[in-house]
Structures are given as structure tokens and as C-alpha cells.
């Protein structure tokens, strides 16, 4: 049985070397090293707990989200004890100017239940848009501009930090701008279209991290381009620039 203690034996030299490399590496290298650290067992858990504890005063990053994920799915009680004590609500601050509760969305994404999280994301966007959108279960493109920036950033951060930086509105926007706002190129790149054939919902979409970058969330794409166009042009992303 895994030991729940985090004050165990001294870290083996090879693990200590891995710890040093992880601390000083780039985000890309850190993501690549995570499986190695996890594979060391309890010493790896201790490394990740110590590293994450040092990050708590800062804004969550992609690697912090990945470390949180590794601890969340760890079999060692020490990992769960730490998260329950220090991050009971999750790694992303659930800010909302509309008093919307994103707790369940964070939980689904932490569990990597991306299809359920995608559906709930649409529901939350409808909540933000108001009673009419809630009733029809989808939003008009004309309602998008009124969605609160704080809430869009929260939803985006949840997707981004629980997907190793692969999913989220900001990723889709970055790719869209990088393709000179060509929807035809974007659809293929993010896996929403193959040649002239649209990806069929839900079975043909990829609901895990093997999906193409930008694949999720679906951003109401099944109702055409106007909603996602409005969403990716929202004032919330102005700081990213054109």
C-alpha cells in the first residue's frame, strides 16, 4: 500500500537530479518530465507537492495545472491529502462577475471528463447569456459580446490548465489569428472537419488529450460560424491583440 507520509526517506540521488532539472526547465520540458517524476512513486509525489506549494502565491500556469493533474490522479494518499488541504476548490480561482458556480466544471475537467465538461461549458455560457439562452439551450451570436470577460477568462483557464495547454478559447483564437482568420484552415487544423466532411458529434470528436490542439471546447460550432466568430472576437481577448 502507498505510504501517505510526505516526510519519508531522503530522496534518491537520481530522483534529486530529476527534481533539479524539473525546477529549472522550460514548460515544454517540464511537461515531458512529469511522467518520469510520477514513475518514481512517493518521492515524485513529494517533489510535485513541494514544487506546487511554491507556486500557490502566483497565477496558475499550464505546468501548475499539469502538476495538479498528476497529484489529482495519484494513487498515493499524500497527494489527495495535500490537495484537499491546500487546493480544495481546485487549481483555478473560480471568479465570476455573474455569480456563476464553476465548481462542477472544474471537477469534470480535473477528472478529464471532457465530453461532459464541454456540455457543461455550453450550459454555463447560456447561464451567462440569460434566461432566453437557458430556455433554448444555445446562445445567439448577438448575445456573445455581453458575456462577462471575467467569466470567459475563468472558463478558458479551466480548459487550458486541465489540458496541458491544448484546449480553450484562447488557444482557438491564437490559432485562428495565426491562420489569418481562415475558418476553413482552422476547422481542419483543430479536427472539426476532414476535407469536406464535418466531424460528427459526438462520436467522431476526440474526448481526451490525444485530440488536436484547439479541438475543445466546441464553442457551439454545430450552429455555424457566427457564434465562435463572436466568441473569439470578444473584448475579453483584446489584450492578446490582432
Q: Mean pLDDT over residues 42-52, rounded?
A: 95
Of the two residues 68 and 239, the one the predictor is more confident about is 68
Assess whether pLDDT exceeds 60 at residue 9: no
| Angle 97-58-172 from CA coordinates, rounded to 5° | 60
Give me 167's grid cell.
484546449
HEC per residue, the chain: CCCCCCCCCCCCHHHHHHHHHHHHCCHHHHHHHHHHHHHCCHHHHHHHHHHHHHHCCCCCCHHHHHHHHHHHCCCCHHHHHHHHHHCCCCCCCCCCCCCCCCHHHHHHHHCCCHHHHHHHHHHHHHHHHCHHHHHHCCCCHHHHCCCCHHHHHHHHHHHHHCCCCCCCHHHHHHHHHHCCCCHHHHHHHCCCEECCEECCCCCCCCCCCCCCCCCCCCCCHHHCHHHHHHHHCCHHHHHHCC
pLDDT of residue 221: 58
Distance CA(62)–CA(158), nearest Å, equals 10
**Fold annotation for 13-86:** 1.25.40
Give the tens place of pLDDT for each residue, 77-92.
999 999 999 999 999 9
Give the tens place of pLDDT for each residue, 116-175.
999 999 999 999 999 999 999 999 999 999 999 999 999 999 999 999 999 999 999 999
- Give the model's confidence band at 11: pLDDT under 50 very low, under 70 low, under 90 confident, else very high: low
Assess whether pLDDT exceeds 70 at residue 5: no
Q: Mean pLDDT over residues 12-20, rounded?
A: 84
Give the tens place of pLDDT for each residue, 166-213.
999 999 999 999 999 999 999 999 999 998 899 999 999 999 999 999
User: What residue has cell string 509525489?
Assistant: 45
Percent of the residues in the chain that have a pLDDT greater than 90, as a whole number: 85
Residue 10 sits at φ, ψ, to 5 deg, of -55, 145
Distance CA(152)–CA(20), nearest Å, equals 36
User: Homologous superfamily of 104-240 in CATH?
Assistant: Gun4-like (1.10.10.1770)
pLDDT of residue 89: 92
- Give the model's confidence band at 16: pLDDT under 50 very low, under 70 low, under 90 confident, else very high: confident
Distance CA(154)–CA(157), nearest Å, equals 5
- Work out the burial of residue 154: count CB atoms within 10 Å of its CB; fewer than 13 is exposed, 13-18 middle, 19 or more buried: buried
Q: What is Dmax (Cα atoms) for the chain?
A: 61
- Domain limits of the chain? 13-86, 104-240
Distance CA(122)–CA(124), nearest Å, equals 5
Distance CA(165)–CA(222), nearest Å, equals 24
Distance CA(16)–CA(43), nearest Å, equals 9
Amino acid at each position: 500500500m502507498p505510504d501517505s507520509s510526505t516526510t519519508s526517506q531522503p530522496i534518491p540521488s537520481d530522483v534529486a537530479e530529476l527534481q533539479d532539472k524539473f525546477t529549472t526547465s522550460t514548460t515544454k520540458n517540464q511537461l515531458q518530465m512529469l511522467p518520469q517524476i510520477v514513475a518514481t512513486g512517493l518521492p515524485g509525489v513529494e517533489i510535485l507537492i513541494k514544487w506546487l506549494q511554491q507556486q500557490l502565491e502566483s497565477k496558475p500556469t499550464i505546468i501548475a495545472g499539469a502538476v495538479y493533474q498528476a497529484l489529482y490522479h495519484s494513487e498515493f494518499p499524500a497527494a489527495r491529502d495535500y490537495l484537499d488541504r491546500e487546493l480544495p476548490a481546485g487549481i483555478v480561482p473560480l471568479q465570476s462577475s455573474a455569480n456563476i458556480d464553476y465548481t462542477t466544471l472544474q471537477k469534470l475537467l480535473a477528472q478529464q471528463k471532457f465530453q461532459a465538461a464541454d456540455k457543461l461549458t455550453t450550459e454555463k455560457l447560456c447561464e451567462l447569456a440569460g434566461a432566453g439562452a437557458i430556455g433554448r439551450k444555445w446562445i445567439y451570436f448577438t448575445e456573445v459580446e455581453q458575456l462577462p470577460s471575467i467569466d470567459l477568462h475563468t472558463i478558458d483557464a479551466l480548459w487550458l490548465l486541465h489540458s496541458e495547454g491544448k484546449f480553450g478559447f484562447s488557444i482557438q483564437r491564437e490559432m485562428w489569428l495565426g491562420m489569418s482568420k481562415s475558418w476553413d484552415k482552422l476547422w481542419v487544423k483543430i479536427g472539426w472537419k476532414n476535407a469536406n466532411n464535418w466531424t460528427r458529434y459526438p462520436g467522431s470528436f476526440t474526448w481526451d488529450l490525444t485530440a488536436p490542439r484547439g479541438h475543445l471546447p466546441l464553442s457551439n460550432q454545430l450552429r455555424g460560424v457566427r457564434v465562435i466568430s463572436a466568441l473569439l472576437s470578444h473584448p475579453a481577448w483584446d489584450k492578446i491583440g490582432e
